[in-house]
Structure 1
Amino acid sequence: MPDLRDMSELRDTDADFSCTRTIGCAPASLWAVWTDVARWPAWDTPLLEARLSGAFVQGAVGELLDRSRRTSRFTLTECVPQTSYAYTVRLPGGALQVRRAITSTSTTPLSLSFRHHVRFTGPLGRLWARALGRSFRQVLPEVMDNLVRLVETGEPVSNGGHV
């Protein structure tokens, strides 16, 4: 069970929600795991595969394969090294926007807070939120806990043999 002090800021809609955690590490340690797209399935367990064409920079394009065997193409829409990044998955009539950001740091003791924000937008954004948002929102705290564990221990979570 996660520490309640670090509980997510889950909003009350499936169309716009986020989760925040605190971890005892330097920003570079979190950033290294966060931006290793091929290893996203090691902590983002709904994914089977993830890949990026080229360097992790704004404008880069990648692909995600989820457990339902759906392939989605994403574009990095923001990249501020050691601080934040965002990507967008285009959907018919809408988009899924994901933003991951370090929200605060402290050097005594070394810790940082980070946030994962998900938003469905566009004319059919609410429809996509109804179709996908609830399951994404429900798994997000576990995904964030998996990320903390991977950064702190270096050990990926079990993901059905897909890491």
Structure 2
Amino acid sequence: MNIIATATATSTAAPEAFFGKWADMATWPEWNQDTEWVKLDGPFVQGATGTLKPKGGPKVGFVVEKLTDTEFVDVSKLIGARLTFAHQVATGDRTTVSVQVGIDGPLRWFWTKIMGADLAKSAQPDLTALVAAAEAVRA
């Protein structure tokens, strides 16, 4: 898999706050600058499907490929490629949250050229905005 972007942040919010934000996909545009809207076809569970509309791009289907108490992985199916967002949380004195964006498939070179730079540029600001949204849940 070709890694396009990574981002990491720490927070005073509990891991559950992040999973709450990830599960409430209709609110993703509030903290994800590249997303116009997201619709989940049912509950937020492993195997769930949905549709995402990136700003300036076509709608794309996705699946919640993995969902545990520490990890959420969603995969969007592109023509000739799979775009994967792997989100993880870890606890200690503070919660550490991270995201890794990767792409694989025969046309990964094409999709990396089309959207790789934008995804790399937005990963950290989006994660920072997610942290602020998760911390605001407790306020």
**Common fold: TM-score over 0.5:** yes
The aligned counterpart of 1:63 is 51
The aligned counterpart of 2:81 is 94
Structural RMSD (CA)? 1.4
Give 1:146's match in structure 2, choosing from 126, 129, 134: 129
Percent of pairs with identical residues: 25
* Structure with the greater alpha carbon radius of gyration: 1
| 2:65 aligned with 1:77 | yes
- 1:69 to partner: Cα distance: 4.6
Instruction: Give 5+ residue unaligned stretches, structure 1.
Output: 1-13, 155-163
2:46 & 2:31 partners in 1: Cα distance?
23
1:59 & 1:96 partners in 2: Cα distance?
16
Higher normalized contact order (CA 8 Å, seq sep 6+, divided by chain length)? 2
2:26 & 2:131 partners in 1: Cα distance?
17
Instruction: Give 5+ residue unaligned stretches, structure 2.
Output: none
Contact 2:5–2:119 (CA<8 Å) still a contact in 1? no
TM-score, with normalisation over the residues of structure 2? 0.91
Between Structure 1 and Structure 2, which shows a larger proportion of helix residues?
A: 2
Contact 1:15–1:133 (CA<8 Å) still a contact in 2? no
Give 2:14's match in structure 1, choosing from 21, 26, 29: 26
Between the two proteins, the alignment pairs up a number of residues equal to 136
